[in-house]
Structure 1
Amino acid sequence: MKRVDERDTMFARAQYQKGSKAYEDYYSRNPEKKAIDDSIRRRPNLCSEGTNTYNPLNSPMASCAFEFLEDIRHLSEGKVNPEKVQGNKKIITKRIKGLAKKYGAKLVGITELKDYHFYTHRGRLEEFYGQKIEINHKYGIVFAVEMDKDMINRSPMLPEVIETSKCYVDAAIIGMILSYYIRSLGYEARNHMDANYLLMPVLVAKDAGLGEIGRNNLLTTKEYGSRIRLGVVSTSLELEVDEEISFGLEDFCRLCKNCAGTCPSKSISSEPYKESNGYLNWIIEQETCYIRWRQYGTDCGICISSCPFSQQMESIKAVDTFKNNEAVIATVLSEFRKKYRTRPFVPGNPDWLR
């Protein structure tokens, strides 16, 4: 599998300001992306005045969370205790997973990090633009934070981005605690958090057995669907690893197509797997997806709420695997559409936001 350059991601491209070193370098190498990216940057940012959902009292609840994350991201790396604490690998793995769950993680897995997990170069932050990523950490600890179902089912309204930003904070705090703890034991550790990733959490989580990648290109777990946010800590500490899992998500997504059908920008393909980045994958049009985010002022979330796995349906919980199981998939989809039609939607704000 080929490595991805973070400079090519929409989140990085949206930040390149005209006249900056990053802007001049990126569009000299990718002139075909300049026009659409310039048009995106002329749009209001998420949670900003001019977007569909802007509220001067409520929108800052989400934007302040991202400001907080910006303020603490320099803590992702730190000094390592020169004295190593020796311990049994099985016991320390148990401690790490237990600590993550104590701080709010719902799922935790560990995998050996592979080359394709990492970006080739940094692109999201101006001060690190173009920096080649070279990291020798052997293991990735990945954890999932659950997003509140009623808040996500209000997608694409403002409660959705208040919830997603809150869960980015939750994941960042868990990662910080794990990183600080591991460094105190005398081993290197780095917290990979929002806007400060050196790797791709979805790929790490898939290999660590948390779930599979769905049609919407998000990690989908059997327990919570894609209604999660991920965090990763990379480390040199020796740990026990988890096995990759499969519950037949590819077969389910092939028949379901809910996220593609409800996507307001039609950015999610309804076609089967296609080759992308050297392996078979579902195809997403990131530019049109992000344009809709900037219109709404939230990170949309409709594809998350429209996924049957995100609704924790009993008919899904009762099935071990959906692989080669079209009759069972049809039953689940029939139940979903009878209950939610195209997708669940909770109108209005929760009481505390009214």
Structure 2
Amino acid sequence: MKKIDERDTMFARMNYMEGTFPYEDYYSRNADKLEIDNEIRKKPNLCGPGTMSYNAINSPIATACFKFLGDIKDLSEGEVNNIKTPIDKELATEKLKGLATYYGAKLVGTLKMKDYHYYSHRGRHEEVYGEKVDNLMPYGIVFAVEMDKDMINRAPQISEIVETSKGYVNTSIIGMVLSYYIRELGYNARNHMDANYLIVAPLVGRDAGLGQIGRNGILTTKEYGSRIRLGVVTTDLELMEDSPIDFGLEEFCRLCNNCAITCPGKSIPKGEKENIDGALRWQINQESCYDRWRSLGTDCGICINSCPFSQGIHMSEIKSFNGNKNAIIDCLKDYRNKYNIRPYIKDSPEWLK
């Protein structure tokens, strides 16, 4: 599987300002992306004045969260205690999973990191633009926090990005605690968090058995659907290896199509998986997706709440999905009788009005 270059992601590309080295370098090699990127840059920023959802009092809540995350991102790496505490991989795994859960993670997995889990090059910040990612630590712990269903069911209103930004804060704090703890034990560790990833979190989560990647390109779990945020800590502390799982999501996504139908940017493919860079997958159109974010003023979230798994499909139904087309069709009928295509809560919570 071909490694992903962070320079190609929309979050990186939107940071390239005319006259800077990243701008000149990137578009000299990717001239086909210059026009669309410049058109998107003309639009208001997320949570900014001029967007559909802007509120002078509430929008800065999410902005504040992202600024906080930017302020602490350099703490992702740190000094390692020169006294190494011996600990076997079974106990280390138990302690780290327990600590992550104690701090609020709902799902936790550990694994041996693969080369394709890491970006090939960095791109999101000018000071590290183009650096080859070579801090490839051999083990990882990945964890998911649940996002509040009612807040996500208000997508694409401000409530949605208030909740997603909270999710990023929660995962960053868990990751900081884990990485600081591992370094205190005398082993190296790095927290991968918003605006400071060296890894592709959904791939790590998939391979550690937290869920599968669905049609919308997001890690989908059988417990919470896509209604999660992921954090990852990589380390040289030896850990146990969890295995990927298959709860029938691929066949479910083939028949469901809810996310593709409801996507306001028409960014999610409705057809079959395609071979992209050596992997069979569905791939969203990130340009049209992010363009819609900039119009809405939030990170949308409609594909998250339109996923039946995000609304809590019964476990008894999930167990019968694998290879059982009729069970999926019956489940989708029940879901659509209840929600039509997706649930939508129009009013904000009282404290956010």
Scaled to the shorter chain, the TM-score interval is over 0.9
SS at match of 1:111: strand
Q: Tell me what 1:320 maps to.
A: 319
Q: Tell me what 2:197 maps to.
A: 197
The one-character-per-residue Cα deviations of 1:146-198 (angstroms, maximum 9, x if unpaired) are 00000000000000000000010000000000000000000000000001000
Deviation for aligned residue 1:111: 1.0
Report the TM-score when normalising by structure 2: 0.99
Whether the 8 Å CA contact 2:192–2:199 is kept in 1: the answer is: yes
How far apart, CA to CA, are the structure 2 residues paired with 1:89 and 1:33? 46
The equivalences for 1:104-143 within 5 A come to 104-143=104-143
Deviation for aligned residue 1:29: 0.5
Whether the 8 Å CA contact 2:317–2:327 is kept in 1: the answer is: no
Whether the 8 Å CA contact 1:65–1:166 is kept in 2: the answer is: yes
Deviation for aligned residue 1:341: 0.2
How far apart, CA to CA, are the structure 1 residues paired with 2:167 and 2:265? 25
Q: Report % sequence identity.
A: 60
How far apart, CA to CA, are the structure 1 residues paired with 2:287 and 2:186? 43
2:66 aligned with 1:69: no
Deviation for aligned residue 1:321: 4.8
Q: Tell me what 2:330 maps to.
A: 331
* Amino acid of the structure 2 residue aligned with 1:326: K
Deviation for aligned residue 1:140: 1.0
* RMSD over aligned Cα atoms: 0.8
Deviation for aligned residue 1:241: 1.0
The equivalences for 1:168-317 within 5 A come to 168-314=168-314, 316-317=315-316
Deviation for aligned residue 1:324: 1.0
How many residues get paired? 353
Q: Structure 1 segments of 4 or more deviating over 4 A?
A: none
How far apart, CA to CA, are the structure 2 residues paired with 1:46 and 1:91? 43
The one-character-per-residue Cα deviations of 1:183-238 (angstroms, maximum 9, x if unpaired) are 00000000000010001000000000000000000000000000000000000001
SS at match of 1:291: helix
* Amino acid of the structure 2 residue aligned with 1:323: N
Q: Tell me what 1:146 maps to.
A: 146
* Amino acid of the structure 1 residue aligned with 2:231: G
Q: Tell me what 1:3 maps to.
A: 3
SS at match of 2:318: coil
Q: Tell me what 1:351 maps to.
A: 350
SS at match of 1:327: helix
The one-character-per-residue Cα deviations of 1:279-325 (angstroms, maximum 9, x if unpaired) are 100021000000000000000000000000000132x4543252211
Q: Tell me what 1:160 maps to.
A: 160
How far apart, CA to CA, are the structure 2 residues paired with 1:222 and 1:321? 13
How far apart, CA to CA, are the structure 2 residues paired with 1:148 and 1:245? 24
Whether the 8 Å CA contact 2:320–2:327 is kept in 1: the answer is: no
2:90 aligned with 1:90: yes
The one-character-per-residue Cα deviations of 1:102-155 (angstroms, maximum 9, x if unpaired) are 000000001110010111100011111000000231111000010000000000
SS at match of 2:289: helix
The one-character-per-residue Cα deviations of 1:77-111 (angstroms, maximum 9, x if unpaired) are 00000110001221111000000000000000011
Deviation for aligned residue 1:30: 0.5
